[in-house]
Amino acid sequence: MALEQSSDKRQRVLAVSGSLRKTSFNTGLLRAAQEVAPDWMDVEIFDIRDLPFYDGDLEAQGDPEPVRALKSAIRESDAVMFATPEYNWGTSGVMKNAIDWASRDREEGSLMGKPGTIIGAGGRAGTSRPQMQLLETLGETGTIVMVKPGVMISAFAPDTFDSDGNLISPQARELLGKHLDEFAKWIFRLGPRDFVPFACEMDIALAAR
């Protein structure tokens, strides 16, 4: 697909790392994504460390500022990308918490109908298990997730990351670049479109009241 010629605007991708560590491999993966993304794609990393734990009482008082910032960053983006570590076969608590907050935005521009992708760097299985878990969670939010080609980096393989968490493996960087090329096409194919508020289990529960 001659995407470069047919796309007349830049693609803004909001990227979230599920690890708060300064030298996190997943945050490093997102920094590498900023470098290898197609020329017309901007990858903005949103730091989720200031989000409180999701709490319905807190929400009822009005979204705390970091939550408002997350929701508005998602609304302003054309797509979302999640880089997940593997914590006990699942994603990290902070990642799930960020998605739970974001899923409470039911307006146009929220995760509903938004193109997304999941990547990750972790232990021996390269985050395959948390990626499957996130796929289910994001399915419920209405995010339209591109799964393949896929980026699952075995973070402890030699010469993959340096001690600052930068992705240094040329093969891994090439794999990430190819994934982002395909993601660019995915975003392009999906939008723009009319906003449809997908029914989620939350909507069904509210309707039944």
Work out the burial of residue 163: count CB atoms within 10 Å of its CB; fewer than 13 is exposed, 13-18 middle, 19 or more buried. exposed
The first and second tokens of residue 2, run together, are 């001659």
First-last CA distance in the chain:
48
Residue 168 backbone dihedrals phi, psi, to 5 degrees? -110, -10
How many angstroms separate the CA atoms of 177 and 163, rounded?
A: 22
Query: Considering the complex, what minimum distance in angstroms separates the CB of residue 156 from ligand FMN?
Result: 7
**Is the separation of the CB atoms in 158 and 15 below 8 Å?**
no
Q: Does 132 bind ligand FMN (CB under 6 A)?
A: no
**Is the separation of the CB atoms in 99 and 141 below 8 Å?**
yes
Stretch that binds ligand FMN, among 18-26, 33-41, 43-51, 195-203 (CB under 6 A): 18-26
How many angstroms separate the CA atoms of 96 and 14, rounded?
A: 16
Q: Which of 56, 88, 194, 204 binds ligand FMN (CB under 6 A)?
A: 88
Q: Does 103 bind ligand FMN (CB under 6 A)?
A: no
Show the binding pattern over residues 136-175: x = contacts ligand FMN (CB under 6 A), - = does not. Answer: -------------------x--------------------
Query: Considering the complex, what minimum distance in angstroms separates the CB of residue 161 from ligand FMN?
Result: 8
Q: Does 112 bind ligand FMN (CB under 6 A)?
A: no
The first and second tokens of residue 82, run together, are 């999640």
- The SS3 assignment for 175 reads helix
Q: Does 91 bind ligand FMN (CB under 6 A)?
A: no
Which residue lies nearer to ligand FMN by CB, 122 or 142? 122
**Is the separation of the CB atoms in 164 and 201 below 8 Å?**
no
Q: Does 122 bind ligand FMN (CB under 6 A)?
A: yes
Stretch that binds ligand FMN, among 81-89, 100-108, 142-150, 191-199 (CB under 6 A): 81-89
Which residue lies nearer to ligand FMN by CB, 85 or 113? 85
Chain residues in the site for ligand FMN (CB under 6 A): 19, 21, 24-26, 85-89, 121-125, 155
